[in-house]
Amino acid sequence: ADVPDEIKDKLDFIFVDNKFAYIACEWLSTINLIQIWDVEEGELVDSFGTGDEISLATGIAQGPNGDIYVSDWYEARVQRYDGETHEFVETFVQADGEMSAPTKMQFGPGPYLYVLSAGGLIRYDSESGHFVDVFVPIGSGGLDTPRGFVFRNKATDPEPEP
């Protein structure tokens, strides 16, 4: 496959080992859907995640076990890849009505994987991938069409500036 010299159709990213940017790309006809860029060299070094495994990569997270998790918008699922080899491991979460159009994801606080979706912020068990609950439903507190989220530790994180 041809390797592009630029990031294409990016939707989300994470830093791994402070050296690599893993970028979830919407659609690439010539390479895989997850690009790995060396942040110091500014070069594409690898890619993984075929169109058979991910229909639309909209979110990416690194789990506590070092594996890479990718949300799939169209299939309402989270795919798991080995953190070292980047080989497909399993469908970690397959929604059963509680989640649709998943986007951003984050592990923790607690033993949970949080997935932002059209239904709100959904919690899954971070070890098994089993549904736990809808942590923040759409409409709660005026929540409508969320695009991202972050957890903040009030004890250690500084107050954001207004």
- Asked whether the beta carbons of 58 and 11 are under 8 A apart, the reply is yes
Residue with tokens 């592990």: 107
In the predicted model, what is the mean pLDDT of the chain? Answer: 87
The answer to whether residue 26 scores a pLDDT higher than 70 is yes
**pLDDT tens digit string along 120-143?**
999 999 999 999 999 999 888 888
Question: What distance in Å separates the CA atoms of residue 140 and residue 35, rounded to the nearest whole number?
Answer: 35
Tell me the pTM: 0.87
Higher pLDDT, 41 or 28: 41
In the three-class reduction of DSSP (H, G, I as helix; E, B as strand; rest coil), residue 116 is classed as strand
